[in-house]
Structure 1
């Protein structure tokens, strides 16, 4: 299966690679990328031969979060981020997912990666939850998954100050993920995928279901809380001004 901006390829028996390559919009969540990802994971769910997914981007981009049009639509109250549930694709996937984040993970793009079962970062890339830069509170499950995966103190800092963090800096801060030179991320992910693919598929599905069951159960409540915060914060005139100004840079 090949989408124009999402490529799905079985690279070895049991190992499927999903490559996000929305080059026009630098892997922001355009309609094409969103539809491509949803269709890709639906196809993976339906394929009984797959055992593990490698999710990655292209060049220096992993995933870059919302488009300007998408954020302005939320500001106007036309949509909300739950309409596609991109953030939960890796979490809801039956088989283990490896986020090979060889490039920048920005806003919802970072959250997308952190919901995977395994996360690999690159030293050169920028990772940020930049929601508050635009003046609205975080969504995409970021207020849950960052503390869960990175620890509360670092997550609170990243969510409140919306700063940019290179992978090398996060490594020094003690994050519990491998941080490698960009050129080594995919190879590391493939070796990890091979180790996973050695196991029986049923056992992988059963164990993942057990390990993430509490996350799946708790996430829906957090998403409701994030939507309430969006209702309070997203519709400020200043937010629209910030979205237009920041995307204009």
Structure 2
């Protein structure tokens, strides 16, 4: 599948719409995240672009990394050495232009992390969010140890991390994880409307204000991600990690042994 097929790019006035098109669930890997980062870099250089909408062209927003059908071993478990993947993912946090994320369905693990790249999130009731890392037997990644508590506070972030709880659009709105909840058939249009409202403001002023509000944030996210990575690399070698992935694949509760 070509880059153009995997990530569509269209323009509506000063708003760029990036549509992820990787069926069935927009699972992410280093190549896909790299393409997203490259596209954001290009849009930073496009003076006609003043705001961006990130959305999905499939039923899920992004279901994270695909662990299904694999036995987690050092040779084939996704994320056993996620260093290159995170190297690309961290680029996403250095873009200069506001991003509105339209969450139409599941945003799980790294997919939830991807929603936190945005400045604003518009969701529908059918959206599902889960930071399910601990349920899989390892430490959260994607810089989420910074981005999630920054958005919803450390107490609510801890709850989502520790439990791996899956929440719907209304629960995400109540937590402050999303900014607006709209019917699913109005989701993309509402995200475009918000982006167009942003784009109507002076672009130099918006970008400089965004830079001030987010000063140092990308560096903090990258530094936190280095810690996340170091912990993950150790935990990917544990029996608990293998059990967590197996339990998810078999749709059962894991039985962790602290080893």
Answer whether TM exceeds 0.5 for this pair: yes
**Alpha carbons 1:72, 1:243 under 8 Å: kept:** no
Write out per-residue CA displacement over residues 17-45 of structure 1, whole angstroms, 9 at most, x where no aligned residue: 00011114x11104553343133223212
**Equivalent residues, number:** 244
CA distance in 1, matches of 2:171, 2:111: 19
3-state secondary structure, aligned to 2:26: coil
Match of 2:172 in 1: 170
1:55 counterpart SS class:
strand
Q: Secondary structure at the match of 2:147?
A: helix
Match of residue 48 from structure 2: 49
**What is residue 147 of structure 2 aligned with on the other side?**
145
Deviates more, 1:188-197 or 1:61-70: 61-70
Counterpart in the other structure of 2:213: 211
Q: Deviations over 1:85-121 (max 9, x none)?
A: 2x551x3111111111122111111111112111112
Residue deviations 1:169-206 (CA, integer Å, cap 9, x gap): 23344556212222222121111111111122222221
Aligned mate of 1:116, from 105, 111, 118: 118
Q: Secondary structure at the match of 1:140?
A: coil
Which is worse superposed, 34-43 or 195-204? Answer: 34-43
**Is contact 1:65–1:108 with CA below 8 Å preserved after alignment?**
yes
Residue 77 of structure 2 is matched in structure 1 by: 72
Contact 2:66/2:78, CA 8 A, preserved across alignment? no
- Matched residue of 1:63: which SS? coil
Q: Which of 80, 83, 87 lines up with 2:87 in the alignment?
A: 83
Mapped pair 1:13 → 2:18: no
- Which 4+ runs in 1 deviate beyond 3 A? 77-81, 172-176
| 104-113 vs 223-232, greater mean Cα deviation | 223-232
Counterpart mapping for 1:192-211 below 5 A: 192-211=194-213
**Structure 1 gap segments, 5+ residues each:** none
User: Higher mean Cα deviation, 165-174 or 133-142?
Assistant: 165-174
User: Using the alignment, how far apart are the partners of 2:116 and 2:82 within structure 1?
Assistant: 27
Q: Partner residue of 1:97?
A: 99
Q: Secondary structure at the match of 1:4?
A: helix
TM-score w.r.t. the length of structure 2 is 0.84
SS in 2 for 1:22: coil
Cα distance change of structure 1 residues 78 and 44 upon mapping to structure 2, 3 Å threshold: closer
- Between stretches 215-224 and 189-198, larger displacement belongs to 215-224
Say which structure is richer in helix. Answer: 1
1:22-33 aligned within 5 A: 22-24=22-24, 26-30=25-29, 33=32
Of 38-47 and 197-206, more deviation after overlay is shown by 38-47
